[in-house]
Every structure is written in C-alpha cells, then in structure tokens.
Amino acid sequence: MRLMITAGIDVGSLSTDAVLMRDGETLSQIIINTGAMARSAAERAFGLALSAAGLRASDVDAVIATGYGRMSVSFADSQVTEISCHGRGSAWLSPKVRTVIDIGGQDSKAIRIDGKGNVVDFLMNDKCAAGTGRFLEVMAQRLELELAELGREDQQAARAAQISSMCTVFAESEVVSLIAQGVPRPEIVRGLHLSIAERTAGLANRLGLAPEVMMTGGVAKNPGVVRALSEKLGAKIILPPEPQIVGALGAALIAQQKHARQSV
C-alpha cells in the first residue's frame, strides 16, 4: 500500500513556504520570497518542494493552502486559515504546547490550542504593521541593517533606547531622532525589540497565557525579540527548528487528516 503524500502551502505577505509530507514524515520544506504575485510564488514553492523530494505533482494526494494569499493557490484542494495551521503544526512539533505566538509579516497572533493542536481561542493584531515583521523590516532599512543583523545588534546593547510610539510611521520618526542624538544603534535596536515584545505580550496576556509557549513565524528567528518577549511574558519560549514553515507544516498535516477521512 502506497503511503499518503500531502502538501501544505503557506502564502504569507513576505514569504511563501511549502512542506511535503509522507505519512507524518517531512520530505521537503521550502521558503521563498512571495514578491508581487502570490499565485506564482505558490506554484514556484510547490515546484521546488517537489524537486527537492524527487516527486511529481501527480504523486501528491492532497494539497492545502493557508496564509493571507491562500485563495490564490489554484492547485490546492482546499484552504484553511493560518491560525488553525499554526496550531496543528505547533502541536505536532511539541505536543505539550498550549499557547502559540505567531509574528508574521503583516500581523501577529496569540493562539491557545488543546493537546491535538485544535484552536481553543485566539487574538489577532492585523490593524497596523506595528509589532510585525514589516515593522522590523522598515526599521532595519532606516538603521541601514539587514533584517538578519538585528539580533546581533541587540546582543551588543548595554541598555534599550526608549521607543514610545507603537505606530510604524511615528516609531520611524523616533528612530531618526535617536540617530540624530547619537544614541548607539544597538540600543535603538533593543528598544525596537522591546516595543514589539510589549505589544505581543499584551496580546498573549489578554488571551490568557497557558504553558508551554511556542513562537512561530519569521520574527522568531530574531533572538532579540525572543529574549524580550520571554522576559515580558515571564515564560520560556519554545522555538521550532524552522519557525517559518510551521503554518505550511500544519497545512500538510490537516491535508493528511482530511484525505484519510475521505478515503474511508
């Protein structure tokens, strides 16, 4: 009997991620920039994942799309919200997780799940870019840094500069002012990380924090944000091996469950 092969495609605002699984085993995972065309990004990510696994599209039994651009994935069998997918993926990676904090490119979410990864409750900030990957992207450009360099800068800070505004536009003005005052760049970076942590912790606390806590999304790769958020929450944060693919992983797992149910 051939083992079931499923795919999860997570089309986010900044990155598009694809995961191929065979009966619970990850065969390949791909992360690419979404760019201007979500549909073509999904097709390219899926193609790269197939190539990495040595498979053809016809070998895949079911595909589920998730993320803000999920409706543009024409080859998907169905679409599932990223909240459900991050919950399922997080529980599969660490069954004791009960709170998932996902900071993506354009929004942030606090999700409470049960032992099977089903969503119990959630809160989401999608009204402005503050506290998201886009916020950090804008600030990195203003500080003449690559996004990946922010975590290293934070480690050199003796203290955190005060960033009082949570609006991206006003916070950028504050950063310009701090630069003009000669405030060291690492201290500005730590201040920015602290402001994100405060906003995200507020979201998680309003939801009701339940241990264990996992952080997903691209911002989880920034150790400065992770450290600041852990301090604000007063809780240890579990990091998956690759935080960016958790949504796609969850989508592939849900695809497996749905296809198995339909095959009975």
pLDDT digits (tens, 9 = 90+) for 45-56: 999 999 999 999
29: left (phi over 0), alpha (psi -120 to 50) or beta: beta
CA atoms within 13 A on the CB side of 18: 28
Q: 20-24, 81-85, 134-138, 223-227 — which is least confidently predicted?
A: 134-138
* CA 66 – CA 60 distance, rounded (Å): 17
Q: Which of 260, 253, 242 is nearest to 92 (CA)?
A: 253
Over range 136-141, report the average pLDDT.
92
Residue spans of the domains in the chain: they are: 1-94+242-264, 96-239
The token pair that represents 206 in the structure block: 């309003």
Q: Do domains 1-94+242-264 and 96-239 have the same CATH topology?
A: yes
Examine the pLDDT at 180 and tell me if it is beyond 80.
Answer: yes
User: 159 vs 116, 150, 155, 234, CA distance in Å?
Assistant: 41, 15, 10, 19
Any idea which architecture 96-239 has in CATH?
A: 2-Layer Sandwich (3.30)
Percent above pLDDT 70 for the chain? 97
Q: Domain 1-94+242-264, what fold?
A: Nucleotidyltransferase; domain 5 (3.30.420)
Mean pLDDT across the chain: 93
Note if the bond before 212 is cis, omega within 30 degrees.
Answer: yes
